[in-house]
Structure 1
């Protein structure tokens, strides 16, 4: 039996879901971002037990098709940004259409209607979150970050970063350093 789960965004989420399901005595054959395939079918009471256990960690079971589609779009985008942005050999709209076997305009309209944001803006926001994370680690140059996230140039990344956050990447790094210094003096 397949369960669809909202808010699974990383490998740690998969581990938490697996652990909680196993604590309840169920076995998962496959756990992917946003979905779990259980070894056996479960009844409504068992499903409610899983729901309650997962809610403690910010997850939610999804039953309706629209919500599953939206969550799958989010999961695919987050996976692309976090894990393999340079490895999809097509643009985002084709990638999503192929992965979900649906017309992109249908996906786009549904996403915008339900989430009140376009797929493109959601994608950009996820990329900017990743840029912030990479800037915090301070291990990569801005050029390396731009390449890793498939930006055409450092200037384009910088402009998009400023447009979304209101800060330049340099200013953001300074803010981060000030916070770190402040934390060390507490």
Structure 2
């Protein structure tokens, strides 16, 4: 689950199936009691019908946790952490960053850093389309060392300059779930 909408869908499905839960967070559900194999299969099927996946593989679950930390950090906080992203992710998941990085690269085929960059660029697009902040403010908000660094990274990922992108407004943001 990488969006608030996903959380709502999961809550709805759990409610429909009468499965009591304590909390639903991005990527995790805390159930109040164990569910039967049959309930699990029904839940898996109903979530698949909504475009969501119930994960069984521990490595895949870890990858989802990493993705969720990154999504929350970039899209749902007002200010990015001032520490290295590697330290932040490692601290949040209470695991060694090298281990996390190796698992992530093995499964996703890209590095955690590349994943962070893709999400930061999506956030830049969003902020450009809102038209509330200028590039200097956006670069500061997303912890870029300079506007030039943000612009270079933006162009490298999108093929466009931030200014040109802003004038287009036709090129819409990708769904977070597709990154």
- The unaligned stretches of length 5 or more in structure 1 are 1-7, 180-186
What is the DSSP-based 3-state SS (H/G/I as helix, E as strand, rest coil) of the residue aligned with 1:59? Answer: coil
1:162 aligned residue (138, 152, 155): 155
**Contact 1:112–1:119 at 8 Å: present in 2 too?**
yes
**Contact 1:85–1:149 at 8 Å: present in 2 too?**
no
After TM superposition, the score normalised by the length of structure 1 is: 0.86
Q: Kindly tell me the number of residue pairs found equivalent between the two proteins.
A: 172
Shift of 1:87: 4.6
Q: How does 1:8-157 map to 2 (within 5 A)?
A: 8-84=1-77, 86-157=79-150
Cα deviations by residue, 1:102-158 (Å, 9 ceiling, x for unpaired): 211111111111111000000000110111112122222112221221212211111
The root-mean-square deviation of aligned C-alpha atoms, in Å, is 1.7
Cα deviations by residue, 1:16-62 (Å, 9 ceiling, x for unpaired): 21111101111221111100011121011101111111112221111
Structure with larger Rg: 1
What is the DSSP-based 3-state SS (H/G/I as helix, E as strand, rest coil) of the residue aligned with 2:39? Answer: helix
Counterpart residue number, 1:5: none
Q: Distance in 1 between matches of 2:35 and 2:11?
A: 16
Q: Distance in 2 between matches of 1:85 and 1:115?
A: 27
Over 4 Å off, 4+ runs? none
Q: Which has the higher strand share?
A: 1
**Contact 1:20–1:54 at 8 Å: present in 2 too?**
yes
- The unaligned stretches of length 5 or more in structure 2 are 173-179
